[in-house]
Amino acid sequence: MERAFQVDLRGVVDLLSHHLYTTPQVYLRELLQNAVDAITARRQADPDAPAVVAIDPPETTGDGTLRVRDGGIGLSEPEVHELLATIGRSSKRDELGMARHEFLGRFGIGLLSCFLVADEVRVLTRSARGGPTVEWTGRSDGRYRVTPAARERPEPGTTVTLRPRPGMEPWLTGAMVADLAVRYADALPVEISIGGRRVNSGALPWQHRHPSPAVRAAALREYAERVFGFAPFDVIDLAVPEAGLTGLAFVLPMAANPAARSGHRVYLRRMLLSDSVDKLLPEWAFFVRCVVDTGELRPTAGREALYEDDLLADTREALGAQVRDWLVRLAATAPDRLQRFLSVHHLGVKALALHDVEMLRVVDRWWPMETAAGPMTLAEFRRRHPVVRYTATADEFRELAAVAGAQNFGLVNGGYAYDIEIMRRLPLLDPAITVRRLEPAELTTYFEPPDPALEARLRPFLRLAADTLHTLGCDVAPRSFDPPSLPALYVLSRAAAQAEEMRSARSAANELWAGVLGAVDATGAGERPQLILNLRNPVVRRVAEAADPSLAALGVQALYGQALLSGHHPLRPQDSALLNHSFLGLLEWAMAAGGTR
């Protein structure tokens, strides 16, 4: 035998309060939603019907209750049983003229939110279609009764009365109700009054009429300061007709954390959905905060977020395109303002440039990259250098920038977020552009080798230097290069770096894996790093000319250690031991030399 499900209303209320709604304050939003829908339904048949929702807080009623009154379509007794006593019954609303497309409510559970703050809800309603006034009283334990009202309502409509549960009284006070009414219902196209005083403006911020663009800009700036706490860098008008969406994007004047979710204020048919809706814009657009109203995007059941579907995805893409178009216009019409914007929000623009050619063009022309010749846009860099070479890390750039700059060798720091990806996309702007990662050996081709006579004089020293560093796996090469203040440069090719990593991994592996890694490593076994000694540096020349071989060896060790440290290269245990040995040896030699004077 089939039976109907039994519903424990207390359990449902607990479910709503702990899992569907995040705060009890939504009870007023749901009451206002129902009232506005009822008014809208009545005015479809009677355009002159009153469009007022009156709220009487306990301070006005005098009996500790809160009353919400409307002049809407009202309900007959059968409709009361059908709508108010059946959880989740939303289809009946359409039969009453509340077509889904034109009304705020969709889920048929709004009245249950009242049980978040009250144990008893009383509804007094009179249908505009005729019939007597009916009184429905529901309790949070699941019981309800329907009776003829003791007194007829003078007009069609509905009055909802809440008696707060002990401990929930603060949610129904006049001050709290006024705050909630302004928060949720300020833009609704009906009058919301508390104690006879209207509290809502009835318009969204972009719908107000202003005598001039300057006055509008000032009003929107004041709105952003009030709602978001900042004076916007700029304001972007938004519109997505497919989603019935209009609104504004306020550009932040300060840097924002790209990892933080941006909270946007979203209205659903002019009723506030939430102040903290995320995923409304693409992730790269973290530098704007939006206020929008939509008639087509779907809310979640708790009406505090947007339902993720194809329409929301398309809307997100459309809104991102409008923010992107604003940036393109800014680049074309106000380059000085674009520069100020980029100085704060370059990460967002660079992230967009990874998949948008127009934004790539903006970054190419306007964003200064760090180069060996100082800050420079990629467009300017390409005018000076036919090949865009970059370092993979900031440490590598810091090691090589001064040397590259002195040799007029074009080099870009690729160690910042998105920069390498952006440079690799430059051929999309011009297929003739060549972009590649720097191979450090390329830079050494700009250095001058010693002339034959000098090389002959240096041969004994170079043999000593090679023997000193042989066990460290490093070769020595004498060159002359600028700046003279740099005594030595440790050059590690990518092949040599990979070979060193493989050797380290092989030494740490067991016998089986050491054999496998040894076979892989065989191709790079001949690659070794180089210590390039700068013959223009006076210290290097003095070390090379030292009469005492032990002192020259200490000098070579010290130059090797200094090159590792200045290039931010990792120190192996043998490197650290060599640094300590050279430091103590030179200190001992200096003290001994000082004592003989």
**Do you know the residue count of the chain?**
597
Q: Is 594 helix (H, G, I), strand (E, B) or coil?
A: helix
Q: Is the dihedral of CA 401, 404, 410, 414 positive or negative?
A: negative
| CA–CA distance, 235 with 326 (Å, rounded to integer) | 10
Q: Quote the Cα angle for 284-323-285, to 5°.
A: 20
Q: What are phi and psi of 236, to 5 degrees?
A: -115, 125
Name the strands in the sheet holding 488-491, side by side, starting at the edge strand that comes first in the sequence.
Answer: 475-479, 530-534, 488-491
Binding residues: 30, 34, 70, 158
Instruction: Tell me the one-letter amino acid at 318.
Output: A
CA dihedral 509, 513, 519, 521 (to 10 degrees): -30
359 secondary structure, DSSP code:
H
Helices (H) and strands (E) in the chain, counts: 20, 21
| CA–CA distance, 392 with 410 (Å, rounded to integer) | 15
| CB-CB contact of 390 with 423 (8 Å) | yes
Binding residues for ATP: 30, 34, 70, 158
DSSP string, 205-216: GGGS--SSHHHH
| CB-CB contact of 413 with 371 (8 Å) | yes
**Residue 371: closest CA among 360, 362, 380:** 380
Write down the residue that tokens 């509008």 correspond to. 216
354 secondary structure, DSSP code:
T
**Residue 176: closest CA among 66, 305, 269:** 66
**Residue 8: closest CA among 108, 140, 162, 145:** 140
Beta bridge mates, 265:
291
Contact residues for 343 (Cβ-Cβ < 8 A; gap 6+)? none
| CA–CA distance, 53 with 59 (Å, rounded to integer) | 18
Number of neighbours of residue 351 by Cβ within 10 angstroms: 21
**Residue 520: closest CA among 541, 543, 546, 501:** 501
